[in-house]
Structure formats: structure tokens, C-alpha cells
Amino acid sequence: MIKRSPEASASAAQHTTNVISELRQWPVQIKLMPVKAPYYDGADLLIAADCTAYAYANFHDDFIRDKITVIGCPKLDDIDYSEKLTEILRQNDIKSVHIVRMEVPCCGGLLNAAKVALQNCGKMIPWQVTVVGTDGTILQ
């Protein structure tokens, strides 16, 4: 379990201003996303585990900005994301894919689904992975 002091949160709050969301589309849940949509064309696609935006404080600026964002939790959602992700990649002009997952084992399912989709979409799409620690740090 991670426990943070209230002082750290309070001092961080003093330094914040109104922050504008970087989200460019709705919905964001993988299972609710359309397979084909105009906002995918020429887009960099962010595939993020649900928990990452809560664990990593600067998620919007560092990951969502200038990307189309899809999120999911392979532990809580009882579906195979790879089929939907494959069709999104196949039917649209996606420039790149960035997968952001937590360090916990259950997040491996999201990475595996993305890898399967990248292999099965019939295109060579550059991709990268970022792993977020449970303490909010970037591990890789």
C-alpha cells in the first residue's frame, strides 16, 4: 500500500492553476469506441490503462496531448481488446501507437492486446510502451 502525507498533496495544490483537459474525443473506453471515426485519421493513438491517469499526475500534458486516447482495464473488462484495437488500426490512418500501462501484472493484458492488434492490422505502425509505477513514477 502506498501512503502519502497530506502535506505533499497540500503543497502541490497550492501550485496548481486551472488546467485544461487535453482530451480530443469522446468516448474514451475501448469497448465504447467506434471502429471508424474521422478523428482517427492521421492520429497518434494512446492506449492507456485506466489506472495510469490516476497514478501519474501529469498524464494529460505528458501523454494525452495531441493524441486520440482509448482506455481500458483488462482485469475489470471481460472482453478481448485485441479485436477492437485491430479494427481501429486496420480501418484508420493511425500514425503511431503509445501504450501506457501500470507496472502491475494485470496490466500485461492491455499490452498483449495492443501487440496482437499491431501484428494483425496488416500495417507497420510505430509503437512504444511506457510503464507507470504504483507510486506514480515512470519506470520505463
Please, what is the average pLDDT of the chain? 91
**Is the distance from CB of 100 to CB of 28 less than 8 angstroms?**
no
- Beta strand pairing call for 94-102 and 127-132: parallel
Question: In whole angstroms, what is the distance from residue 39 CA to residue 103 CA?
Answer: 30
Q: Where are the domains of the chain?
A: 20-132
User: Looking up cell 485485441, which residue turns up?
Assistant: 82
* Amino acid, single-letter form, for residue 127: W
DSSP 134: T
pLDDT for the residue numbered 12: 56
Indicate the fold that domain 20-132 takes in CATH. Answer: Rossmann fold (3.40.50)
Which amino acid is located at 32 in the chain? L
Q: What is the pLDDT of residue 56?
A: 97
pTM above 0.75, yes or no: yes
Q: What percent of the chain has pLDDT over 90?
A: 80
Bridge partner list, 44: 96
Q: What are phi and psi of 87, to 5 degrees?
A: -70, -40
